[in-house]
Structure 1
Amino acid sequence: MTVLITGGAGYIGSHCCVTFLEAGLDVVVLDSLVNSREESLKRVAAITGKSVSFEQGDIRDRSRIEQILKAYGVTSVVHFAGLKAVGESVARPLDYYETNFVGTHALLRAMEACGVHKLIFSSSATVYGEPKFLPLTEEHPTGPVNPYGRSKLMVEEMLRDVAASDPKWRFAILRYFNPVGAHDSGLIGENPLGVPNNLMPFITQVADGRRERLSVFGNDYDTKDGSGVRDYIHVVDLAEGHLKAYESLHALKSDKNCLTVNLGTGTGYSVLEMVRAFERASNRTIPYEIAPRRAGDVAECYADTRQAESALGWQAQKDLAAMCHDTWTWVCKNPRGYEEEGSSS
């Protein structure tokens, strides 16, 4: 059974490659390398002892996708490829709609042409927008507040429409919360190119001296310590959730061919709790300053995980200490990410 992983050289994609290869599946990766490095796939091979087939290409190129699906005898697709920076999506909305929505449309057309009808889609908790209640269930109203979130929701709606049109399609829509951590080998991890978009890379860059201090945006939220609360999930747990979704797609009956599932821990941690946990893991002090709230940020956001437990038989296993420890191991072994192979500190 060969699985095409689009965006497979990226942060979550590379960890998913490890999980699928270790489960005995064959993997081919399609990646444009716009926001990733092929080196990650060499590290995947080193971890698993198995080769990873790699094809460089763009998710919007339907003929290229068809060529890959046919050449490798692909039977299922895990779809990570896309743009993912919230702030950038506000500045460049057309790029986000073209890559995330139009790109997925091209992928589905190629799959249809090649008789491939199983797909796991990388969605996001940003589709919920401002929480009306917590924890967030899959039935929570959607209302994304930026082009990135809206592009994800548009893809979700397209998949549900396609699933309703023909029972041979099988979709799993996985709404991620906040992926952090790295493989415990320290060989693969988050490798942001340019200014990071997420909290953890900022914390690590302060810990290793690349940044003077962390900006904490707001300390007057109605939370345990005034800073924003989010649901952080270890990337290895997240990858395991994709494998469980893959297994579920092959077991689904025709009257239930589209699953929508949150992937989170169900526990919220504040920014300041994350800082303290990382200080313990790294034995470093993380200087920070309080900055004004950012427009669009919510006070709290965390998942209801019961659907993932009942539909997929999946539950996050790794705690906050493991998330921070594995992140620090990755940073210490790779101070310049994939740009400097085999480095250590």
Structure 2
Amino acid sequence: MNIDKALAKAFQDCKSNGINSINTCFYPNCSEKSINSHILQKNGIISSIAENSHVMEMQISKFKEEEHFFKRTGINIAFSFPCFCNKHDTELFELIETKEIDFSDYKSCLLFTLRTIYNEKYRKLVNVSMNRCLIENHSDLYDEEVLKISLDQEKMGISDIEKTERLIWDDLNNGTESFVFQTRKISKKEICLSSFYNYETTTEMEEYLKKYGTQKEDVIDVFINLFPYKNDSILMMAYKKKDEVIVKKYVNDFFAVNEKRLERKITNLLMFLCETWIISQSLYKKRIEGNDAFFGEAAEFSYRNMDERRFFDINIFRDNFCSKFKIWRKNFITLKF
């Protein structure tokens, strides 16, 4: 077996072990086996952008020629992960899955955020298990120090998520409101997005480290969901109330700009900050097919970008997406930092 195949096999074996090991319901103090849960509901949301019960999902593989690529995926599998047991999955989300959704209702919005953070927690738990497996069994193939750094980063990420997790459960159990939610109805976009990202830029994080000699622990999260609902799409964003003074203006801008500018903002999030999204086959064929490499180039740029709050003139919802991206690539992809 050549080295590339050995690396790929070790990686996939350890990742599979990690996936198989994370199978307990995330509901507090529940030890039942989790079922496959959709980040956003399959019926009425994901199904509304599906064609022949399939959507396109961006995936990443270090062992393919194009590391970022799109795969046609059935809606029973797409945008899903093992989250809650059947009982808790059914009971907890009844408010937003079996009834008309009231987007002015705090609890309803909170439930969308809960699955968003658990999907990221699940991914990080898998990565922790995978890295441990690679360290223990394949240090002859992989750089052990690099794996340990990655392991520590994933553990720190889980710790951050658990702080948010506790706030959400406190709100659900006690009727408190620890988050600020904003929603906006826009024309239907054939995309489902569910993610969160740091408000702080890389420059700001490095300046904090230089000033205080330690990493900033309490980073500011911005939560975002975008999904079709009936004949429109719903944009939902949130942040913790304690961060309102800092992040309010940034989030408010998503709700103040006209729809074309909003589309550009969303496109920038898809390209540079958020990985958890799916797209209809029709929109994929119109805008992306044959240009999957754009997303690898965007990822390469985002690894080096120091100002993640800057938005560029690219819009996946418009016919000029490819030509605009090529202009952006010419100006920025070779940018040196």
Which TM-score applies when normalising by structure 2? 0.26
